[in-house]
């Protein structure tokens, strides 16, 4: 059964779409019944979007879930749970502002081969994108492309749906494999990994605008990701001064090491 029909009425999606200024509201009668690649649009060089995350888990066996006496009520969210991301891209620089349940926020900067975290307390950490655990340090964030649409493949295509505002959307349903067992899968408000056993496969759904190929709504297990789009930035992002200082020191040290290694090989 299509999870979209169970998770939320289509009218809810239509209202959300009408509230998204960057989403086309024109009726798209020309979209083919079966999508053609690319199934999800690439992120333009200058772009800004927001992902709102809600969690409707009521599993009493999960940490932080309600007791049996609270069955049927939404699970209380831990303070480090991510509830919103504001993503901004200007060519090779991308900034993700991550908001947590307790109101704190962190920044994740994607620059060159680095993922740079600036936590709520001002602490800065840097990792290169080829580090195995970088996906755990930056949860719910994607360096390239849109997050949460892993299930969007032609093999998972369900059909085309016309929304109440006249827009048409492609629906996909599949699964998402969580990171491997005993790997950290989320972080606290200071960007520190929180170990949790993973490895399970969970249901995943996505609704993609037929005209723009932009994500509209996606689900992973009990979580819902709602996408909205804002006017694109008109100027390049600039790394904050404290991040730039740290990055310059790292690059200078790396350059020195490479020079020493070059001399040793002569």
| pLDDT tens track for 177-187 | 776 544 444 55
Say how far apart CA 126 and CA 115 lie, in whole Å. 6
Radius of gyration of the chain (CA): 20
- d(CA 100, CA 109) in angstroms, rounded, equals 17
CA 243 – CA 116 distance, rounded (Å): 8
Residue 115 contacts residue 137 (beta carbons within 8 Å): yes
Output the pLDDT for position 5. Answer: 35
Query: What local confidence, expressed as pLDDT, does residue 10 receive?
Result: 32
Structure tokens at 63: 């940490």
> Highest mean pLDDT range out of 108-117, 138-147, 201-210, 253-262?
201-210
Neighbours of 96 (CB within 10 A): 23
Residues in the chain: 266
Structure tokens that stand for 170 in this block: 């492609």
Q: Report the distance separating Cα 143 and Cα 110, nearest Å.
A: 7
59 phi, psi to nearest 5 deg: -75, 115
- Provide the domain limits for residue 119: 3-264
Cα–Cα distance between 44 and 41 in angstroms, integer? 9
Copy the structure tokens of residue 172.
């996909």
Q: What secondary structure letter does DSSP report for 42? A: P
Q: Name the percent of the chain lying above pLDDT 70.
A: 66
Residues 6 or more apart whose CB falls under 8 angstroms from that of 46 comprise 89, 90, 91, 232, 233, 234
**pLDDT on residue 261:** 78
- Number of domains making up the chain: 1
Read off the pLDDT band of 197 (50, 70, 90).
very low
Global confidence as pTM: 0.72
- How far apart are alpha carbons 71 and 193 in whole angstroms? 29
Distance CA(239)–CA(47), nearest Å, equals 17
As beta bridge partners, residue 161 has 169
Contacts 24+ apart (CB under 8 A), 132-136: 133/183, 133/184, 133/193, 135/179, 136/179, 136/183, 136/184, 136/185, 136/186, 136/187, 136/193
Cβ(126)–Cβ(109) below 8 Å = no
Q: Return mean pLDDT, the chain.
A: 76
Distances in Å between the Cα of 145 and the Cα atoms of 42, 87, 197 are 6, 11, 27
DSSP, collapsed to helix, strand or coil, labels residue 110 as: strand
| DSSP states of 140-197 | T--SSS-TT-TT-SGGGEEEEEE-TTS-EEEEEEEEEEPPPTT-EEEE-TTS-EEE--
pLDDT tens-place string over residues 3-54: 333 333 333 333 333 334 344 444 445 788 999 999 999 999 999 999 999 9
């Amino acid at each position: 059964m299509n999870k979209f029909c169970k998770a939320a009425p289509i009218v809810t999606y239509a209202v959300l779409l009408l509230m998204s200024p960057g989403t086309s509201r024109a009726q798209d009668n020309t979209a083919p019944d079966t999508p053609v690649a690319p199934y999800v649009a690439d992120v333009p060089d200058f772009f800004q979007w927001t992902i709102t995350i809600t969690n409707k888990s009521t599993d009493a066996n999960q940490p932080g879930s309600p007791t049996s006496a609270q069955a049927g009520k939404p699970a209380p969210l831990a303070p480090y749970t991510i509830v919103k991301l504001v993503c901004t891209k200007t060519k090779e620089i991308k900034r993700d502002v991550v908001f947590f349940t307790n109101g704190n926020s962190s920044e994740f900067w994607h620059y060159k081969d680095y993922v740079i975290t600036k936590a709520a307390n001002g602490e800065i950490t840097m990792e290169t994108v080829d580090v195995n655990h970088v996906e755990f340090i930056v949860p719910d964030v994607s360096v390239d492309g849109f997050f949460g649409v892993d299930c969007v493949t032609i093999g998972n295509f369900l059909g085309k749906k016309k929304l109440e505002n006249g827009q048409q959307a492609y629906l996909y349903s599949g699964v998402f494999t969580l990171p491997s067992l005993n790997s950290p899968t989320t972080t606290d408000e200071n960007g520190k990994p929180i170990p949790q056993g993973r490895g399970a496969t969970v249901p995943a759904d996505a609704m993609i605008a037929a005209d723009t190929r932009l994500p509209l709504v996606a689900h992973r297990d009990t979580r819902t990701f709602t996408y909205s789009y804002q006017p694109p930035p008109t100027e390049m992002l600039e790394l904050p001064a404290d991040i730039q200082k740290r990055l310059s020191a790292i690059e200078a040290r790396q350059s020195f090491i490479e020079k020493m290694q070059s001399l040793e090989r002569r």
